[in-house]
Each structure stands twice: as C-alpha cells, then as structure tokens.
Structure 1
Amino acid sequence: MRQRITFIHKPEQGIDVQELQIAGYSLGGPEFLAAREDRITLALDELPAELSDVLQSCHELHVRWVSPLAYETVAPLLSRLSPGFHLFYTPGKTRGEVEDGPDTAMLCQALSKSFGIQICSSSRAFARLPNDRFSHSAALYFYEPRENLNSLVDYLSTRICATLGGHGDSAVSHCRERAERLRDAASLDISYDTISHALKVTAQWPKKRQSVSVSSLPGHRTEVGILGEDPSVRTEAEEVGISGALTVLGDQKTPSPVMFAVPSRHRVSGASFSSAFVSPTGLHPTLRLRISSGQRPREDASCALHAYFTLPKSIFPDRYQLSDELFLRSKNLTALRYASSPIDLEAPAYATETWGSSILLELTPPTSGEKEDEASGPWTAEVPLHLRYLAPNSDGYAEVEAPYPAVFWACPAEEGTKFPNNPFDRVHLGYDALFGPRTAFWHVEPRAEDAGGSGGRLMSPIRVPVLDEDDASWVRAGTAAAVVVGFAWVLWTLVAAYMKSGYGREKESREAKKKQ
C-alpha cells in the first residue's frame, strides 16, 4: 500500500517547514488554510476477497462522488463535476458486451453494500456511452444523487477495517480513523483498470483551516507534501508551477524541498455561476444559469463555453426541442453537442429503468464584437426541461432536485502539450471524454443560489405536483365514470344521427321519390 497526503495552499498562505515535527511514522505541524488530498494505492492481493472479486470482473471502473455543498478549492485541484454519485464502468469480458450478466449483478450488489445504491439492479439502469466516437471513455455510465458518504464510512469501518485484525489493533484503528474523515470530504474518486491491476482511492477536502497531523503504519510508504502554487516556476502557458516540501514518513527526518511545473488540464476561468428554476415551474420547467461574465479565459476564438448536465430520471431534456436553432438562440444556447441514450420521452419516473440522462450544451455568451462591458458583465442562459409523472404520495407534492451542471470553457491546448504527467490530474469525469485529449477546461465556479433557499447547496430544487394517495380511489372512480359517460354520449349521438338520417331513412326517401 502506498499513500500520498498533500496539503495545497495559496502562495501567500503557506507555513514555515521548520515548524513541522517529524517523529518516525508521524508528522505534525501548525494549522493553516489549505485544501487536502489523500491518495491510497492498493494492489489486488491487499484487498479483501469480496472487493478483489468485484474488481477483477471489471475491465475498468471509475467512481466519482461530489458533495452537494458548495466548497472552495485551490490550484491544481480545480476540476468540477455535478454533485452526486457517478460511475463509469466497462464489463470485464469485451468492451462491446454490456448485456446483463453475473459481472454487472455482482457490481450492483457491491454498490448496494458499500454506497447504499438502490436503483442499480442490472445493465438496464446504465446509460450507454458511444465508444465508437469516444474511445477513451467507459462503456456504461450510472448516476444517483447521494448526499454524503456515511454509508461508505459505515461499510469500511464494519466490514473492511475489521478484516485487518490480523495486522494488529493499530491497523484497525488507523483504518477506521481514515474512514471517518470521509464524512467531511468534498469529493471521492475510486479507479481500477486491468492494465494497472491496482485500486486508487483519492479523497479531497475543501480549502479550510487544516491541522497538519499525519500518521502511518510501518511497511507502508507514506509521502506527505506541503505544496503551493508558484507562478515563478511555470515556463509554459498551459503549466501550473508547484513548490514546497515533501517528506517520506519513516525514511526522512527533515522535509525535502521540491519545485516542479506540469501541464494542467483543469484551470479556473475567474467567472462564477448559479442555477435555479424559473418560477412558476409547471411540468415543463426552465433552468436558468446566471453567469457572472462571458469573457473568454484567453484570447482564443476556438474556445467555447459548455454546460454538462447530469439529470436524474424525474427530469429529462427533449433533444428534438433542443435541435431548433432559432429556439436555442432565444435562450442564449448554441447547440446540443451530446445527449446520453436512451431517453424515453413518455414513461413516468417509476417505470423508467435508466438512472436518468446527461447532456452537453454549448452556450452563447456575449461576443467580443458587442460592447466590452456587455461581454464581461453578467448574463443568463435558459435550458428547457420536462418533468416525468412521479409516484403518488400522501402529500400531493414531491420535492425534486437537479444538481448544478459543470460549466467550463473548452479550449484546445497548445501544440505538443501532454496532460497525463500531472500527478493531480483528474480524468473520467464524463464530459472530458466528449473532447479531444488535448483539450483544456477553464471552469466557471458554481455558487449556491441564495434566493432559492438552497442553503449553500449546489442543487436546484423544484416542487412537483403528484397524485394524492388519499384521493386516488375517487380519481380512479371519477375517471372510469367520465369514460363511461363519454362513451355512452358518443354512442347515443351516433344512434340518434342514424335514426334521423341514417341508411333506413335514406332508402325510404329514395322509394318515395320513385313513386312520385
């Protein structure tokens, strides 16, 4: 097992490394303002059998969880994704085989035990990704809104950490302590593929006052870094400069200075946005994005602003409506660049097997050809959506939330730029597979819509009318009565018309005319 624990701060908010105290396999220091990232790499033979069997049944597996609470981070930890639980998965046999089988059933059972996922029962719950177009993406995609990681923490503490009893009480205690920290995490990444045969678990905590207190177990390499962005180290426009100190616990008694620059796939644009439904909503609500600036992050006409939406099954887009260029222009939208499949436009939510849908929209910000203050000032874009019929309840209303989209400028990187060398790079986010490998993402920071009562949550709530269970029997009886009455009225009208001017009347009229 290898561990990498990194505290990343802004240039002016670092600490003096002389204040760090190293004693064997522990490191301590003063509190300071920073983001934290923990990465653990495990070989398959280091995992319990129940986890190892699940991973070996997968060709690749990538879990991405993001907290619904707004948080602040620092470079180079700048990537963004809609809040909730995301799973990118390719079955273990061949990339094209995504039918129901023991591999998918085993994975769904593991997700139910570890994360509490309930709607994953078969491959029909997954959305299929077009691998003929995006060769570097997984075959299947699954999403479920997930408020926190409490289910995973309980699973790790009671099931996984308990298997370490053979390594001593200290190993069990250390494992449970690390698991408990996940309750406050801002994001969690879990990745496995058949090439590396290793499981990588990466957790990030937001920028806040962090206590420098790290401990490790003998026999496991643990690297601790106190790093900050250093613009003076950067030599290329696409790079981020990093400097600070690194310590390998158990091997070093003093920190070692470090300085490096790496290309960064994810950058910050300097703009921000919020998301809320336009009131009144109805069954065809409109989601409005308020963006603080339409100015490009760099002077490059090929940069385009996009919004990647991850929508639960209760809310869906209509790709035919989003193909009308004139309609899109009125909403400050350019085009629908991608929509997951399948999307059933008629089925109610309780009869829909797929988790939901995801779409990539290109937005139309104010152009540089307009007034400069308009191009750099706030503006809005509106996305038309639709609600499915939800299951009846006793209240007559249901609360539904749409997660904030990931909003970013997609810009082609300079010729020769390669991103995989960045140790803090984050891939398999869904939207990154929709662009070329040399695309840089300049993110627009999400901010909670205070007027919407979200309380710091990056979710857009909407109240949906549903059938009241207490009135359901009267509704069924009334509907049946209305159908019977309507049918009787139509039948009576037809009979009356026939009796008045039907075939029999016409025959008598013709015979009377012949006699005359």
Structure 2
Amino acid sequence: MATHTIAPAAGFHPHIYTNITFKHPPSRLDCIFDIIYIIPREAFVDANQLTDLKLSKHLVVLNESDLEAPAERVRGGNLVAVRYEAEDYLMSLGKEVTIDLPLHMRYQQPDSLWTHQTVAIPVPKVGWTCSIEPYQKPNSIPPLPSIDFHLERDSRTTFDEIESSVVGNMTVSIPVGRTTDTNTVKIGTHVIVLFGALWIAWAIYSAVVKRKRTELKGKRRKSE
C-alpha cells in the first residue's frame, strides 16, 4: 500500500511525499520495485537535486528538457523512477519509507481573467517491473528491466501495480500574470528604470562635485 501527498498545494515549489510500507517479499529476485512519477509539462524535476536525496541505488530521470523554458514551449514532462532491487526491498521489509520528491513549476502564459492556474499531477505508480522471461544465468547479477516513458507494456517487461491512495488532491495552484495588467506593468517598469537612471546620474554628479571640493581645499592648504 502506498500513500501520496502533495504539499504545498499552491506555489512554484511543491513536493510529492510518498509513504510505502514494504510488507510482502518479491515473487522473483530479478524484478524491480518501482515508484514511478509522471511529471506533466507544467512542472519539472532537477536531476542534480535528486541525486542528493539518495532515495535508492537506482534513480532514473527521463525526457529532461530546458529547465528555464515556460510551459508553452515544452512538449512533454519528466518521468522519475525510484527503483529498488529485490535485495534492497528485502532489507526494508516491515519498514515504512518516505520519499520526498521536489518539483519546480514552470511559468504559465498570462491570462485575461484568472490570476492562478491549477495543474493536475498524476498519481505516482507503484509496483513491480519484471522481465517477461525470468533471468536464467546463475551466479550473475540480473539486468534492470527497462521502463517505458508511457508505461506501455511491451514484449520485454510487465508492470504489476499495487494499490495506492491519495491524501487530498494531486493538484497545484500556480500564479499567472494577467494580460489586462500589461500596460500597468509597462508604465511601472519605465518609471522605475527612469528613476533608477536619474538616481545614478545624481549620485555620479554628487561624487564629482564632492571630489572637486576636496581637491580645491587641498590646493588652498598647500598655497597657505
């Protein structure tokens, strides 16, 4: 049984919390226990940040794209798979594991009516990924089963999903700009830039005047 929570429910940096209790041993030692997160294009994960979490021995991040691009310029999202080999799973039997997956929400297109946009986050998939044919070579480490971005069953692997529950809604509310505020923002930006330029010019003028006065006082003392 796996339980998933997303918090905070508003903002640009939510986290997905997954709680899993490892109860039943695997039926085959060449299977992988996967916690699979499908991240929509409105969000992304930072692979460098995930490596610091030390979630498991095997962490897969697929379909990475420009981390700075707004949502409308991104075609697809990310897939993150936290993978436990059967031996690691057996060592965790009876224990509850909490996985904290940080997300970063992308900037959305401005809207004429709404100040926030709600983005749905798919419920993570938890289960066993196994090869169709059991690994037969003795005294060797079985290879990790492959994982498809869309979780489509192919001729090589199967995915046996276990039951999951969600605490609250898997949605995030993101602030968006309003197109009706465009003129206000433009005028405000021009005013701030103009004020900043005038302040810099005044500061330079004051510094030059002060320096000339100092130099003039020095010349007078020398002449005396």
Does residue 354 (structure 1) correspond to residue 75 (structure 2)? The answer is yes
Q: 2:174 aligns with which of 455, 464, 483?
A: 464
Q: Using a 3 Å threshold, how does the CA distance of structure 1 residues 415 and 440 change in structure 2: closer, same or farther?
A: farther
Deviation for aligned residue 1:300 = 7.3
Distance 1:478 1:335 in 2: 51
2:33 touches 2:83 (CA, 8 Å); kept in 1? yes
Task: Work out which of the residue numbers 103, 107, 122 in structure 2 matches 1:403.
Answer: 122
**In the alignment, what sits opposite 2:38?**
310
Aligned residue identity for 1:338: V
Aligned-partner SS, 1:500: helix
Note closer, same or farther for the CA distance 1:321–1:498 as it changes in structure 2 (3 Å cut): farther
Q: Distance in 2 between matches of 1:446 and 1:397?
A: 29
User: What SS does structure 2 have at the residue aligned with 1:475?
Assistant: helix
Deviation at 1:474, TM superposition (A): 2.0
Match of 2:168 among 441, 448, 452: 452
Aligned to 1:180: none
- On the 8 A contact 2:71/2:107 being kept in 1, the answer is yes
2:98 paired residue number: 380
Change (3 A) 1:446 1:489: same
Partner of 2:187: 477
Query: Which position in structure 2 is the counterpart of 1:429?
Result: 148
1:310 CA displacement: 2.4
**Deviation for aligned residue 1:314:** 0.9
Question: Deviations 1:38-64 (Å, cap 9, x if unpaired)?
Answer: xxxxxxxxxxxxxxxxxxxxxxxxxxx
Q: Which amino acid aligns with 1:452?
A: G
Distance verdict in 2 for CA 1:347–1:463, change over 3 Å: same
Asked if the contact 1:297–1:442 (Cα under 8 Å) also holds between the matched residues in 2, the reply is no
Question: TM (normalized to structure 1)?
Answer: 0.35
Aligned length: 209
User: Partners in 1 of 2:23 and 2:90 — Cα distance?
Assistant: 8
- C-alpha distance in 2 between matches for 1:341 and 1:369: 31
**1:297–1:409 Cα contact (<8 Å) kept:** no
- Superposed, 1:141-290 pairs within 5 Å as 272-290=1-19
TM-score, with normalisation over the residues of structure 2?
A: 0.72
Matched residue, 1:222: none
User: Amino acid of the residue matched to residue 109 of structure 2?
Assistant: A
CA distance in structure 2 between the partners assigned to 1:446 and 1:369 by the alignment: 22
Letter in 1 for 2:192: A
Note the C-alpha offset of 1:398. Answer: 0.6
Question: Structure 1 residue 500: deviation in Å?
Answer: 1.7
SS at match of 1:287: strand
Residues in 2 aligned to 1:369 and 1:338: alpha-carbon distance in whole angstroms: 21
Deviation for aligned residue 1:304? 4.8
Provide the rounded CA distance (Å) in 2 between the counterparts of 1:487 and 1:300: 70
CA distance 1:415–1:468, change in 2 (3 Å): same
Letter in 2 for 1:380: T
Aligned mates of 1:506, 1:305 — CA distance in 2: 76
Residues 67-106 of structure 1 deviation map (CA, whole Å, 9 limit, x = unaligned): xxxxxxxxxxxxxxxxxxxxxxxxxxxxxxxxxxxxxxxx
Which letter does structure 2 place at the counterpart of 1:489? W
Residue 345 (str. 1) matches residue 67 (str. 2): yes
Q: Does 1:294 align with 2:22?
A: yes
Give the direction of change, closer, same or farther, for the CA distance of 1:303–1:403 in structure 2 (3 Å limit).
Answer: same
> Could you tell me how far 1:452 is from its partner in structure 2?
1.8
SS at match of 1:497: helix
Q: 1:346 to 1:498 in 2, by over 3 A?
A: farther
- Structure 2 equivalent of residue 234 of structure 1: none
**Distance change (3 Å), C-alpha of 1:353 and 1:410:** closer
CA contact (8 A) 2:47 2:61 kept: yes
- CA RMSD across the alignment: 3.6
Distance in 1, Cα, partners of 2:191 & 2:96: 54
Deviation at 1:482, TM superposition (A): 2.4
Query: In structure 2, do the counterparts of structure 1 residues 338 and 488 end up closer, same or farther at CA, with 3 Å as the change threshold?
Result: farther
Tell me the distance in 2 between the aligned counterparts of 1:349 and 1:341. 15
Matched with 1:494 is 204
- Write out per-residue CA displacement over residues 313-358 of structure 1, whole angstroms, 9 at most, x where no aligned residue: 210111121122xxx15xxx226733234421222213x2432222
Alignment of 1:11-26 (within 5 A): none
> Conserved in 2, the CA contact under 8 Å of 1:310 and 1:359?
yes
Aligned to 1:48: none
The DSSP-based 3-state class of the residue aligned with 1:403 is coil
- Runs ≥4 in structure 1, deviation > 4 angstroms? 299-304, 366-370, 439-442
Structure 1 unaligned residues grouped into runs of 5+: 1-271, 417-426, 454-459
- Residue 281 to residue 353, structure 1, CA distance change in 2 (3 Å): closer
